[in-house]
Amino acid sequence: MKNKIIVALDVPEVSEALAMAKKLQHSVGVMKVGLELFTAAGPDVVRELRAMGCNVFLDLKMHDIPNTVAKSVESAVKLGASFLTVHACGGAAMLQSASDAAHGSSLQLLAVTVLTSLTDKDLLQLGIPDKPADRVHRLAKLAVECNVRGLVCSPEEVSAMRSEYPAGVVLVTPGIRPEGSAMNDQKRAATPREAIQRGSDYIVIGRPITAAADPVAAAEAIAASLRQSPLKA
């Protein structure tokens, strides 16, 4: 892929998404289709992005009974998606069914652990006494044991995940905010360079690129920052 940037096409209209993708297709590595766009446009938007030559991250965070998730994974394979998210808290049977359905294809499954918008207080409200980092570790271990060889984790946990899984597991990090950007609803965030230095394979960036006055310039500035010398520890 061109680079480590996944741009989130979090818009409600397919025309807007495709126009943004056309602008950015030579500046980023992957286009992310999330729930907002997929609900509005359905699988056709994935087909159109693939027809443009874009790699697609289908971010649907699947969490259902094992058979339903397996059939959905098979559909994602047929669409030509490069990445697909499933919720690690769906349990071992669901995760293994998803892995089996993706086996032999080029689809990279990514297990979602703890959303980057959640804090300790949020987990307690859900009846989960774990700290976010402990919860991430527990769910990541379960996913990898079920042959899901990709993880979504925040910048705060990615170093530990890279230490735990030094090879063979793809780490994708949302919650990326370039220096000077608004945090919006992200609670556990980092700059692009910080996330890559900590061990991320890919970083997910939405509004700092798509809402910029010049999205291409914003994406290329981030890509250039990733080519600079590593940050000091």
User: Is 232 a known active-site residue?
Assistant: no
> Which 3-state string (H, E, C) describes 189-213?
CECHHHHHHHCCCEEEECHHHHCCC
Chain Cα centroid distance, residue 126: 23
- The encoded tokens of residue 87 equal 């919720």
Residue with tokens 């080519």: 227
E strand or H helix at 87? strand 83-87
Out of 61, 131, 141, 232, the active site residue is 61
Give the single-character DSSP code of 131: -
Query: Are the beta carbons of 22 and 52 closer than 8 angstroms?
Result: yes
Give alpha helix (H) positions in 80-202. 92-102, 120-125, 132-145, 155-164, 192-198
Q: Is 166 exposed, middle or buried (0-12, 13-18, 19+ CB in 10 A)?
A: exposed
Tokens coding 134: 């402990």
Question: Do 205 and 192 touch, CB atoms closer than 8 A?
Answer: yes
**Residue 221 vs residues 31, 46, 62, 202, 216: alpha-carbon distances, Å:** 17, 27, 33, 16, 8
- Report the catalytic residues: 61
